[in-house]
Amino acid sequence: MRRYQRISVLCLLTLSILFAVSIDAGTKKSLGARTIVPPCPVWVIGSYDSTGAPNMMTASWVGICCSDPPSVTVSLAKARYSYGNIEACRAFTVNIPSVAYAKETAFFGSVSGRNVDKLAATGLTPVGSELVNAPYLAEFPLVVECRLVQTVEVGSHTMFIGEIVDVKANEDILEEGDRLDPLKLQSFLFFPGSGNFYSTGGSIGSIRDLQAEIER
C-alpha cells in the first residue's frame, strides 16, 4: 500500500508541475527564431550607381544607432543594387515618405534599379546632395544625408552605418522651434509578417506625464 501511496503522490506532483508549466507556456506561443520584431520604420535609401544614375530602394531593417556622432544603420543584402552603390560612393540618403507616397515607396521596394529606372517610373525628382555623394527625393517631407563610416557583416545582411551630415525638412511638418510634428509628417510603418503598410495614429500621451503616473 505504502508503495502505491508513494506512486500516487509522485503522479499527482508530476501532474501538478505539468499543469503549472502548461499554464505558463500557454500564455505565450513560440513562433521560432524569426525577425518578428515590430514596429519597423519605412525608409527609402538614395544612392548613385556606377553610371551616376540615382536609385531609390525601400528598407525596413534600419534604425538610429548613435547620438554622437548622430548615426543611422541600414542593413542590406549583398544582392541589392544599392549595396554596391553605397559601398562605392561611401554615402547614402534616408528619405522618409508620407502616406501620400505609399505607392512609390512600395514600388521602390519591389523592383531592382539594376533593371528599372525607378525614378522615371514614379516621376519623383532626385536632388543631388551638396554634402554627400548621394541623391535625395524632392517630394518626400524629410530627408537625411549620410556619409558611410562603417560596415558590419552580420550574416545575410551587411549593416551600413552612416553618420548624419544634415537633416532637411519641409517647413509644413515642423512646429515652433523646428520640432517635428509626427501627425503632419504622416510617416508609416511595416510589420514583419503583415503584407500591409500601417499609418501613424494619434498621440497616446506625453512621455513625462506617463512616467509620472508610475512615480506617483
Shortest distance (Å) from residue 126 CB to its own copies: 13
Nearest-approach distance from CB 195 to its own copies, in angstroms: 5
Cell numbers for 184: 503632419
Return the ∠ at Cα 49 (arms to 48 and 53), rounded to 5°. 70
Q: Could you tell me which of 111, 144, 106, 124 has the C-alpha nearest to residue 54?
A: 124
C-beta of 39 vs 52, nearer to its own copies: 39
CA-nearest of 215, 9, 202, 180 to 96 is 180
The set of cell numbers assigned to 30 is 513560440
Question: Which CB, 50 or 203, lies closer to its own copies?
Answer: 203
What is the per-residue DSSP string for 107-173? HHTTS-TTT--HHHHHT--EEE-SSSSSEEESSSSEEEEEEEEEEEE-SSEEEEEEEEEEEEE-GGG
Provide, rounded to whole angstroms, the least separation between the CB of residue 191 and its own copies: 4
Closest CB to its own copies among residues 72, 86: 72
Identify which of residues 2 and 32 has a Cβ nearer to its own copies in the complex. 32
To its own copies, the closest distance from the beta carbon of 171 in angstroms equals 5
Closest CA to 119 of 53, 168, 51, 50: 53
132, 147 contact by CB (below 8 A) = yes
Instruction: Name the minimum Å distance from CB 181 to its own copies.
Output: 7
| Nearest to its own copies of 8, 112 (CB atom) | 112
Closer to its own copies by CB, 10 or 66: give it: 66
User: Residue 7 CB, nearest distance to its own copies (Å)?
Assistant: 29
